[in-house]
Amino acid sequence: MESNERGPARRRNLEQTYLEYRNMMFRLARDILGDDALAEDAVSEALVKLVARSDCLEEPTGPKTRRFVAILTEHAAIDLLRKRKRERTVPLEAAAELRAPAWDPEGRLDVLAALDRLPIEQRTAVQLSLACGMTAKQVARTLGCTVSKAEKLISRGKNTLRNELKEG
């Protein structure tokens, strides 16, 4: 009978904690992530952690609870930020300087010709990075080289293309 009473009380405490700190949680997550939608995801993750660790709550709105909720939220936001950085790909729009406008077929031919003049490793690294959206780590894995070498190949290839397209 005691466990039946603890369940509703625990739920009320969690609800009260959430209602008290939801705005703070959202602001903390948004400050770290810089995006409202991602902040909502981080708050949701923090709430899941809060439910799992609800036994640590002494009172729903005390200073210890506030610190605990803030720490859970910060950690959830940082974890989400790290995950997004690992999964980040380069959108093709970021390569706009290397692409010719759609209405300029000659410009596209210039880009393709400049790509063809690159050494094979640089060309492959640049194509994997820009066209496929791979990170330097993924390019390195694909080419079977170190991350440092992949970064250099991508950087040098882009610089060579930029210079050739400016001259042409």
Q: Tell whether the model's pLDDT for residue 96 goes beyond 60.
A: no
Q: Summarize the confidence of residues 75-82 as an average pLDDT.
A: 86
Q: What is the pLDDT of residue 153?
A: 93
Alpha carbon distance 38, 4 (integer Å): 36
Q: How confident is the model at residue 103 (pLDDT cuts 50, 70, 90)?
A: very low
> What's the pLDDT at 106?
59
Q: Tell me: pLDDT of 109 over 50.
A: yes
Report which of residues 117 and 104 the model is more confident about: 117
Residue 122 contacts residue 115 (beta carbons within 8 Å): no
For residue 114 the two structure tokens come to 């400049």
pLDDT digits (tens, 9 = 90+) for 152-166: 999 999 999 888 888
Q: What is the DSSP string of 85-151?
A: HHH----GGGGGGGS--TT-HHHHHHHHHHHHHS-HHHHHHHHHHHTS---HHHHHHHHTS-HHHHH
Residues 26-55 pLDDT 10s = 998 888 888 888 889 999 998 888 888 877
Q: How far apart are CA 85 and CA 53, in angstroms?
A: 27
Measure the N-to-C terminal CA separation of the chain; round to a whole number of Å. Answer: 83
Q: Report the alpha-carbon distance of residue 119 to residue 55 in Å, rounded.
A: 61
CB 22 within 8 A of CB 43: yes
Q: What does the block give as tokens for 25?
A: 């949680």
**Which pLDDT score, from 0 to 100, does residue 4 have?**
46
> Does the structure show a pLDDT above 60 at 90?
no
Q: Which pLDDT does position 151 carry in this prediction?
A: 93
- Of 79, 78, 72, 90, which is closest to residue 132 (Cα–Cα)? 90
